[in-house]
């Protein structure tokens, strides 16, 4: 299990966070967060959209926590949660705050995760379900990977469904093609940090699937709070670390 405490030899804290909550004035939020990030000296990227925030930060623990205070000062984001990991170096070259139409693009504008979400299963419960081979009602549990194919190639849950999508917008036609294969099963969708599954879960509900869960916090939270069993390989991340091992350490550093 990954410790939240500074491990001593890895001075850079990495935080990932997202939250779907309506933002009436993205430009004002961008200005607030850009000024705060430049003031505290963090690196990383924050995406701001009318539907919410997607946050990737790296730096000293003090700088990251100061930046998260600024993020939590935005109306509706006081309880945004983070996933933490450590690295020897900062995996971003600069700090950027970008305005986007969606913080994760699905091209389904009628889906509103900020107004309600699909059911979620926490990492410990999923770990137990996978150990016993079924959920608490005795239904077969299938893991559905909502990531791009190249991410799945780095590592995935054992036996997970992989539709080899190349971008998240392709999840919509893939689900419609394979929907009948999922009927009657407990489907747990997962991604890196949980953001894609917020929309995937709602979309699957809208398409008539009944026993739908998203993995709370995604792979990152699963590796942080469990021993990582049932997940094979590494977790691809979109920064200079490239992939994280089961201890949430940069996999590339293990080969140096």
Instruction: Give domain status of residue 174, yes or no.
Output: yes
**Tens of pLDDT along 190-243?**
999 999 999 999 999 999 999 999 999 999 999 989 999 999 999 998 887 888
pTM to 2 decimal places:
0.85
Per-residue pLDDT band for 255 (boundaries 50, 70, 90) equals very low
Per-residue pLDDT band for 6 (boundaries 50, 70, 90) equals low
SS3 94: coil
Instruction: Give domain status of residue 6, yes or no.
Output: no
Specify the DSSP element, H or E, that contains 236: strand 235-236
Domain boundary among 99, 128, 159: 99
Domain boundary among 99, 129, 148: 99
Instruction: Give domain status of residue 105, yes or no.
Output: no
Query: Is 191 an active-site residue?
Result: yes
- Indicate the number of domains in the chain: 2
* CATH number for position 87: 3.30.70.100
Domain boundary among 99, 125, 145: 99
The pLDDT of 67-73, averaged and rounded, is 98
**Tens of pLDDT along 29-58?**
999 999 999 999 999 999 999 999 999 999
Q: Are residues 126 and 148 in the same domain?
A: yes
**DSSP string for 188-219:** EEE-SSSHHHHHHHHHHHHTT--SEEEETTHH
Which of these is catalytic: 12, 64, 191, 235? Answer: 191
**Tens of pLDDT along 76-106?**
999 999 999 899 999 999 999 999 999 999 9
Q: Are residues 50 and 118 in the same domain?
A: no
Max CA distance (Å), the chain: 53
Q: Are residues 79 and 204 in the same domain?
A: no
Q: Are residues 19 and 73 in the same domain?
A: yes
Instruction: Give domain status of residue 165, yes or no.
Output: yes
Residue 138 domain boundaries: 113-255
Which residues make Cβ contacts (< 8 Å) with residue 243, sequence separation at least 6?
154, 155, 234, 235, 236, 237, 250, 251, 252
Q: Are residues 121 and 85 in the same domain?
A: no
SS3 184: coil
């Amino acid at each position: 299990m990954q410790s939240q405490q500074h491990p001593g030899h890895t001075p850079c804290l990495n935080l990932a966070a997202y939250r779907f909550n309506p933002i009436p004035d993205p430009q004002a939020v961008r200005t607030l967060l850009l000024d705060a990030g430049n003031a505290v000296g963090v690196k990383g990227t924050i995406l701001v959209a009318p539907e919410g925030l997607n946050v990737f930060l790296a730096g000293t623990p003090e700088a990251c926590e100061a930046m998260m205070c600024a993020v939590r000062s935005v109306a509706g984001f006081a309880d945004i949660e983070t996933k933490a990991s450590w690295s020897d170096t900062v995996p971003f070259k600069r700090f950027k705050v970008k305005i986007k139409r969606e913080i994760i693009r699905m091209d389904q504008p009628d889906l509103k995760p900020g107004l309600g979400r699909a059911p979620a299963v926490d990492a410990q419960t999923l770990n137990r379900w996978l150990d016993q081979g079924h959920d608490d009602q005795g239904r077969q549990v299938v893991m559905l990977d909502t990531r791009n194919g190249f991410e799945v190639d780095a590592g995935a849950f054992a036996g997970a469904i992989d539709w080899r999508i190349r971008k998240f917008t392709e999840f919509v036609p893939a689900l419609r093609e394979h929907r009948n294969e999922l009927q009657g099963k407990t489907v747990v969708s997962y991604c890196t940090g949980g953001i894609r599954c917020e929309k995937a879960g709602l979309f699957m509900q809208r398409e008539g699937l009944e026993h739908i869960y998203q993995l709370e916090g995604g792979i990152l939270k699963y590796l942080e709070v469990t021993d990582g069993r049932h997940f094979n390989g590494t977790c691809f991340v979109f920064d200079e670390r490239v992939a994280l091992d089961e201890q949430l350490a940069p996999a590339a550093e293990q080969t140096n």
